[in-house]
Each structure stands twice: as C-alpha cells, then as structure tokens.
Structure 1
Amino acid sequence: MTFDLRLPIGLLFSLLGLLLSVFGLLTPAELYRTSLGLNMNLWWGLVILAFGAVMLTFALRARRAASAGGRP
C-alpha cells in the first residue's frame, strides 16, 4: 500500500475544524460585535471540518478500492 496524503490532511483539518467550532460555540456573543455579529470562529470551523471530512472520505474510498483489487 502506498502513502496517501489525504488521510493525515483529513485528520488534521477535521481536528482543527472541530476545535475551532467548539471554541466558536463556547465564546460569548460580545466577542463578535466587530464582525457584524457573525460568529466567524463557528462558521470557519464548520468549513474546515467539512473539508477534513471530504479528505477523509476520499482517503478511505481509495484505501477500500485498493484492498478490493483496484475496483472503484
């Protein structure tokens, strides 16, 4: 099996996205007055988490296809 870079990238981005989203959920609303009331930590945390999930999905699909004999 070859090294698939999508797996560690997916894990890293999923972890960082989860941490940023939790931080956005736990911070008070007064912190976001300067960003027009938008909780940017929460929104960008969700975007980063989604990117990490996509990378993990592609890595796991490739691993499954490789173990099944190359069939997609």
Structure 2
Amino acid sequence: MATESTSGTRRAGAFDIRLIIALLMGVYGLVITIMGLTVTSDEELAKADGLNINLWAGIGMLVFTLLFVLWARLRPLQVPEPEPAAEEPSKPTE
C-alpha cells in the first residue's frame, strides 16, 4: 500500500525489493536455524570440526533479514507521482 506525502512522491511500500529479499532470506534463515537446532547429528558436527554450520548460517541470515527490514523502514523508497496530463481543449462539435 502506497502512502501519500506532500512533496509529490509516495512510498513504494510492499513493492520495495528490499522487503521481498528480506522475506526470502528470513524464511530460509528460519528453516536453517531450526535444522541446526534440531536435526544436526554428531557426524555432521564432526565433519565441520565441531561447528554447527546450519545454526550459524541461519542466525546470519536472520540478522541479514533484520538489517534489510530496518533499512527499508528507515530509508523508504520514494516513488514520484506522475504529472497529470494536461487536458486538450475540446473542439466544438458541428
């Protein structure tokens, strides 16, 4: 939903690409974080030298998501309003 402002511009709102990227990264980050907390086996931890890669990658993605949402909220995109077209004078009908 675009909101009006007095300077002839409006906010991009839900069509801001930063919010779409944040949504995708947030979903992936949440899934990977849950996988890191629940289904990581000792064998997988041994392969990664004891580091729970899924957990840390998921947390990183969630932080990335938070930063993108903050960026979109603090610095919204301004879409210029189109100039109203000048109406042509109507010709008298005969």
TM-score (norm 1): 0.76
Unpaired runs of at least 5, structure 1: 67-72
Match of 1:70 in 2: none
Higher relative contact order (CA 8 A, sep 6+): 1
Greater gyration radius: 2
Unaligned regions of 5+ residues in structure 2, if any? 1-10, 79-94
The number of aligned residues is 65
Q: Normalising by structure 2, what TM-score?
A: 0.60
Which structure has more helix as a fraction of its residues? Answer: 1
Contact 2:29 / 2:58 at 8 angstroms: preserved in 1?
Answer: yes
Between structures 1 and 2, the one with greater strand share: 2
CA contact (8 A) 2:40 2:52 kept: no
User: Root-mean-square deviation (CA), in Å?
Assistant: 1.9
